[in-house]
Structure 1
Amino acid sequence: MKTYHLEFEQNLPIPLAEAWDFFSSPLNLATITPKEMKFKVTSNYTKDTKMYAGMIITYHVSPVFGIKMNWMTEITHVKEHDYFVDNQVFGPYALWHHQHHFIEIPGGVKMHDILDYAIPYSVLGRIANKVLVGKEVKKIFSYRTKAIDELFGKYKG
């Protein structure tokens, strides 16, 4: 199985606690996901639900061609105000391991995402990643950067 590794960084002009509160709530993920993906959390969590290791989150998502899929992730590690990790339990990927790191910097917080993923179907999966999936994943994170800047403003350093 071929795995792909991506890293993304973004600085935000908000306190670490505010960044943590927003990004550690699964319900806020839809806010920073492209609308055409029709992303919806189906787990029964509220805005007040605190993230914890072992937390299972279910979603409906339409990642390509409007095809609706179920997706389930587990939060496997949490160190409050530092990082959390989500792993796909089942869904569109053969592997999805996403680390979310938060680092306090002067005037804000640096978010550092580390993503390792794989596509099923061996050679066909590699072709699909090259032609479509890899570009879509990068497009999602690019959209997130813009959406986060709109929500919190641009970091001026």
Structure 2
Amino acid sequence: MKIYTLKTKQRLPISREEAWKFLSDPANLKTITPDYMGFDIISGADREMFPGQIIQYTVSPVAGIKTTWITEITHVKELEYFVDEQRFGPYALWHHKHFIKPIPGGVEMEDIVDYKLPFGILGRMAHPILVGPKLKEIFEYRKKKLEELFGEFPVKEMHQKNTGT
């Protein structure tokens, strides 16, 4: 059994409260998901996030083939983190942790996704050529979209000290 892990971090120049308000609202998932994924929420996104919340989506990850994905919000610590787990859908396992940490000048968001593919050896063969690259592409899209919405985090330039002798 092979379990894969995808980790991403992103800094945004917004408050922890603003980041939480946006990221913990399931309705905003469509905004930060590529259009070609055909992402639509069927039910469960009509209230503030809570442990035990079931959210149903349709998504078309490959060749326009529509599939239903059902996730449960299993853990919520307001302003700090939440966890969603797939109950039914395209993965044999999907466990996605979302962390929000205040830093000087904004927030650092970290996603850690642990996942397992179905279909045994065929799933493992598909990972490096299809699934792994597609997930990285989706999270890269998410990063760019969040920067469009909230701005880029300023990078401080490091200056070398000139010590002439």
Residue aligning to 1:8: 8
Query: RMSD of aligned C-alpha atoms?
Result: 0.9
Distance in 1 (CA, whole Å) between partners of 2:41 and 2:84 is 14
Pick from 141, 144, 151 the counterpart of residue 143 of structure 1.
141
Distance in 1 (CA, whole Å) between partners of 2:45 and 2:108 is 27
Q: What is the aligned-residue identity percentage?
A: 56
Q: AA paired with 1:42?
A: I
1:30 maps to 2:30? yes
The structure number with the bigger radius of gyration is: 2
Q: Note closer, same or farther for the CA distance 1:26–1:103 as it changes in structure 2 (3 Å cut).
A: same
Pick from 100, 103, 112 the counterpart of residue 101 of structure 2.
103
Give deviations 1:118-137, integer Å, cap 9, x for gaps.
Answer: 11011000011121011100
Q: AA paired with 1:33?
A: T
Aligned length: 155
Give deviations 1:86-143, integer Å, cap 9, x for gaps.
Answer: 0000000000000000000111110000010111011000011121011100100010
SS at match of 2:43: coil
Residue aligning to 1:124: 122
Distance in 1 (CA, whole Å) between partners of 2:143 and 2:149 is 10
CA contact (8 A) 2:51 2:76 kept: yes
Distance in 2 (CA, whole Å) between partners of 1:150 and 1:65 is 28
CA positional deviation for 1:50: 1.0
Q: AA paired with 1:153?
A: G
CA positional deviation for 1:45: 3.1
Q: AA paired with 2:20?
A: W
1:55 maps to 2:53? yes
Q: Which runs of 5+ in 1 are unaligned?
A: none
Q: Note closer, same or farther for the CA distance 1:96–1:44 as it changes in structure 2 (3 Å cut).
A: closer
Pick from 53, 75, 78 the counterpart of residue 77 of structure 1.
75
Structure 1 consecutive aligned stretches of length 4 or more whose deviation exceeds 6 Å: none
CA contact (8 A) 2:10 2:143 kept: yes
Q: AA paired with 1:13?
A: P
